[in-house]
Structure 1
Amino acid sequence: MPGELVREWEEVPARFGVSARYAKWAGTPAPPPTGPGPAVLFERVTPSGADGAAARAVLIGLYGTRRRAAALLGTTPAELPPRLLDAVAAPVAPVRVQGDRAPVRTLLAPDLTALPVPVLTDEDAGPYLTLGAVLATDPDTGVRNLSIHRMCVQGPDLLSLWMVPGRDLEGAHQAARRRGVPLPVAIHLGLGPAVLLSSCCPASLVPPGVDELAVAGALGGAPVELTSCRTVEAECIANAEYVIEGELLPDLVPENPQGPCATPEFLGYQGRAHPALPTIRVTGITAREGAILQTVSGPGHEQSVLLGFGMEAAVLGRLRQLGASVKAVHCHTAGGGQLMVVLQWRAKRSDADDEAVRKAAESVLEEFRMAKLVVSVDEDVDPESDADLWWAMATRLQADRDVAVLPDREGFPLDPTQSPAYSPSLSADGRTAKAHFDCTVPHALRARFHRPHFTEPRT
């Protein structure tokens, strides 16, 4: 659609150039002035680490709005979460392609410094792969896992990798360590929307044992095609723009030996570097002709959009299991697509529905660790409209009766308020008070809250 893509032909450096120019379009939680904007294709980005390396293309912001992200799959933001639920329920297994059926890929030297990997700020530990989807197979279970992780370039052939504890990749890594062998991995930069969205789904939606690639096949309407890596015994996604092949090692390195910062996080704050992270030794890089390196800016709409749709599907599925009369779920980008959940409820049929809405909303706060704030609204409120949400908050809520606080629950430590240093009522870092804002109209008073309906004139 017109205005959805901007092409930048001027040569820019990977160090600060991409992030500084894209900042005006990144959207909250990037610092102002900013707002959601187009996808931006930088045609000529010079790598920051290798002298004389050729400029290459970098794409950022493809998923920078919810509408555009859903449109890439031929649907709308409201329709995408139910489609994800359907895909999880009826997965389509990937297929292997070899020989003439496999896309042509060029084997490059295992030199990360020759790629235009962006450095976002002058506090960053280095260039970061922010949208690298890691594919690995658990050596104990044989189950594949595709997931996105923060990876910092530590040298020409070395990456540090941060895995959120409890993720499937961590389990596969531990299984390989018990065997005394490295874990072969394929890191993908530049994937189709069905694969990328499936890789961002939480475990509550795609539990261990379910192949994310099979979910992607169902979501995209065709099996994902796999082929063999060239330098390690692993599979890779055949149509990826770049594939970085390597081995996940037991060796640990500091994420940033020079300082406390890592790279900006999706909640809008500068990330803290980890003192010791596992490493990936790169053995080879393959690329399609004219390959485009895809990335995201840590704080901004794009990463929140990618995380939000999977969270919405998981919450919607759980509330449906409970028999709740929920109509739609929207995970707001201001909460990184995780912390702030808007629930749109179908019209209440009795006074009993007042309490049913509150109990169901509080169950979301209890069952989903990342959910910190839940806002409940009626059918006549558009959950995608910030103006409508604030209107409902202002005119359909009394704080003394409509705000429920759940103290000292398990949360997410990247939110800097989730610490006893901020609130002494919290028992540890990563604990948080949660809240439900019930902006639904009491059933008995529904006549007082009638919104006008404007009728088109008859011709």
Structure 2
Amino acid sequence: MSEVWNLRRVLKELQQQPGQYHATDVPINPNADLSGVYRYIGAGGTVERPTQEGPAMMFNSIEGFPGTRVLIGLMASRKRVGMMLHHDPKTLGQFFTDAVSDPVPPVVSDEQAPAQEVVIKSDAPDFDLFKLVPAPTNTPYDAGPYLTCGLVLGSSLDKKQSDVTIHRMVIESKDTLGIYIMPGGRHIGKFAEEYEAANKPMPITINVGLDPAITIGATFEPPTTPLGYNELGVAGAIRHQAVDLVKAKTVDEYAIAQSEYTLEGYIMPHERVREDINTNTGKAMPEFPGYDGDANPALQVIKVTAVTHRKDNPIMQSVIGPSEEHVSLAGIPTEASILELVNRAIPGKVLNVYNPPAGGGKLMTIMQIHKENEADEGIQRQAALLAFSAFKELKTVILVDEDVDIFDMNDVMWTINTRFQADQDIVVLPGMRNHPLDPSERPQYDPKSIRFQGMSSKLILDGTVPFDMKDQFKRAQFKQIDDWEKYLK
């Protein structure tokens, strides 16, 4: 039988890649210090400068949490994600598209699960999430310790559908979490609405410390993965190995057997909590646009019934909200979804898609367009409209020709400077919905077009050359040298 895929197997492989993994035994405080250190070493994304792309980092000595470790930045590099998934980083979007179309469903195992080697139930006299879960805070202003990479697994009221999604969850008391479920979005939210309407608590598990194939695959959204599509099948397709599930110890739900940590509990009906009840800072945590999120006045409440984890130095996995890691988590599945959509509508015209760090993986898309003849002129803007129609969080689309490297922002901006005229090639679509975490989407910013928080004008920058002028925009051609690397030896 082949070796099972889990976080530890991935880290073992990653350690063989120079510059991709670093562990430290220097003690560190998880409250703001840990993320503060990693900001300099490898966070990237829209994190406050100075920052850079660097290795994933394992902190082996967490103050106040002996015998535990915290991993951060595992997916904070597209190159590293490609290494971990054994695939070209430039075509990860298509890779995930193929996995979504041919999933391998999870399976339930009766064997002893590594995730449940240690079981601590909430009726234990010393049960306290603040002491059991080494969840860091990103900044000194955070509302509390956050589970930033916890995969929530839940099912519909009739148990006929199940799903997994990632949410921001803050520890509020010794046995409760606050969970932010974005309105009108995630499937877990739909299930929670069913339970609340029936006045019943919704059983869930929160799974932390996973194979990145699971974590990234779980961030797909409608319409690519409709209600009832269990995204664990995406990871199964990528690894050619079904994800193992195991029955939870205290709730009627399943947990991911290879998790490092699992929190079991219930989303409580008709209970809400102010996010910053313990700090009164007015802030939640840094979010993907690069700003501190405002504390939510009414988060849904999770009553935790148990914490389970591996026995041997369990790993708490954490993500910095605006880091490159969020770009991998949110951007790659969105790229896959856009490719799937446009290839059905206008096959062969969009060669590749990239959601860069400048948009946090959600707000911006760069599309590489193939125009074959004059009948394709205008198809590029049609592709942009298709992307906007399906993904309301998308704010800006940049269109480029096939000779442009969409992963090189200098090349993209070169296009905007040499193949673009503002009076002809800017398309603005006002009065549309976007992500409520964008701080520019407030009525006071633009009272005329933003009636309510989360509305936005969408932008298309068309940097493609008109088909009948292609001969006038040929890049300078250099001599092809096949053995150029020998001059570096």
TM-score by length of 2: 0.89
Q: Secondary structure at the match of 2:90?
A: coil
Counterpart for residue 84 of structure 2: 72
Query: Any residues of structure 2 matched to 1:396-415 within 5 Å, and which?
Result: 396-415=419-438
Identify the match of residue 287 of structure 2 among 241, 247, 265.
265
Pick one of 303, 307, 322 that aligns with 1:285: 307
By how many angstroms is 1:78 displaced?
A: 2.6
Partner secondary structure for residue 45 of structure 1: coil
Within the candidate set 201, 214, 221, 2:220 is matched to 201
**Structure 2 Cα separation of the partners of residues 189 and 383 of structure 1:** 33
CA distance in 2, matches of 1:187, 1:247: 10
Q: Show the 5 A alignment for 1:342-361.
A: 342-346=366-370, 348-361=371-384
Corresponding position of 1:165: 183
User: Is the aligned partner of 1:39 residue 2:51?
Assistant: no
1:243 aligns with 2:265: no
Contact kept, 8 Å, 1:407 with 1:432, in 2: the verdict is yes
CA contact (8 A) 2:206 2:263 kept: yes
- Cα distance change of structure 1 residues 70 and 386 upon mapping to structure 2, 3 Å threshold: same
How far the C-alpha of 1:408 sits from its partner, in A, is 1.3
How much does 1:101 deviate? 7.4
Q: Which amino acid aligns with 1:125?
A: A
**Residues 1:447 and 2:447 aligned together:** no
Q: Which residue of 1 aligns with 2:276?
A: 256
Cα deviation for residue 177 of structure 1 reads: 2.2
Instruction: Identify the residue that residue 6 of structure 2 maps to in structure 1.
Output: none
For 2:273 and 2:482, how far apart are their aligned partners in 1?
A: 72
Residues 167-204 of structure 1: CA distance to partner in whole angstroms, max 9, x if unpaired?
Answer: 21112112222333211111011011111111111222
Residue 457 and residue 97 in structure 1: after superposition, are their counterparts in 2 closer, same or farther (change >3 A)?
Answer: closer
Give the 3-state SS of the residue equivalent to 2:330 in structure 1: helix
- The answer to whether structure 1 residue 178 and structure 2 residue 190 are counterparts is no
The yes-or-no answer on 1:120 pairing with 2:138 is yes
The amino acid across from 2:73 in the alignment is G
Q: Is 1:81 the counterpart of 2:93 in the alignment?
A: yes
How many Å apart are 1:314 and its aligned residue?
Answer: 0.8
Q: How does 1:35-434 map to 2 (within 5 A)?
A: 35-47=52-64, 53-54=65-66, 56-99=68-111, 105-108=117-120, 110=122, 111-114=128-131, 115-140=133-158, 142-166=160-184, 167-250=186-269, 251-257=271-277, 258-288=280-310, 289-324=312-347, 325-346=349-370, 348-426=371-449, 427-434=451-458
* Structure 1: runs of 5+ lacking an equivalent: 48-52
1:119-150 CA-partner distances (Å, limit 9, x unpaired): 11121111111111100111135211100001
1:206-226 CA-partner distances (Å, limit 9, x unpaired)? 111211112221122110101
Question: CA-atom RMSD, angstroms?
Answer: 1.7
Would the aligned equivalents of 2:245 and 2:254 in 1 still touch at CA under 8 Å? yes
**Helix, strand or coil at the partner of 2:61:** strand
Identity %: 35
Distance in 1 separating the partners of 2:70 and 2:481: 50
Instruction: Give per-residue Cα distances to partners, 1:6-56, cap 9 Å, x unaligned.
Output: 112100011112111011121131111112211011111124xxxxx4252
5+ residue gaps, structure 2, are 1-16, 123-127, 484-489
Preserved CA contact (<8 Å) 2:115 2:256? no
Find the aligned partners of 2:171 and 2:274 in 1 and give their Cα distance. Answer: 12
Shift in Å, 1:428 = 2.3
The residue type paired with residue 76 of structure 1 is D
Instruction: Find the aligned partners of 2:44 and 2:333 in 1 and give their Cα distance.
Output: 20
Q: For the structure 1 residues 395 and 281, does the alpha-carbon distance in structure 2 shift closer, same or farther, using more than 3 Å as the test?
A: same
Contact 2:61 2:69 (C-alpha < 8 Å) held by counterparts: yes
Distance 2:118 2:464 in 1: 57
Tell me how far 1:420 sits from its aligned partner. Answer: 2.2
d(CA) in 2 for partners of 1:65, 1:130? 17
Instruction: Work out the number of aligned pairs and report it.
Output: 453
DSSP 3-state at the match of 2:100:
helix
1:354 and 1:419 map into 2 onto residues whose CA distance is: 36
Task: Give the 3-state SS of the residue equivalent to 1:78 in structure 2.
Answer: helix
* Moved >6 Å (runs of 4+): none
Whether the aligned pair in 1 keeps the contact of 2:113 and 2:258 (CA below 8 Å) is: no
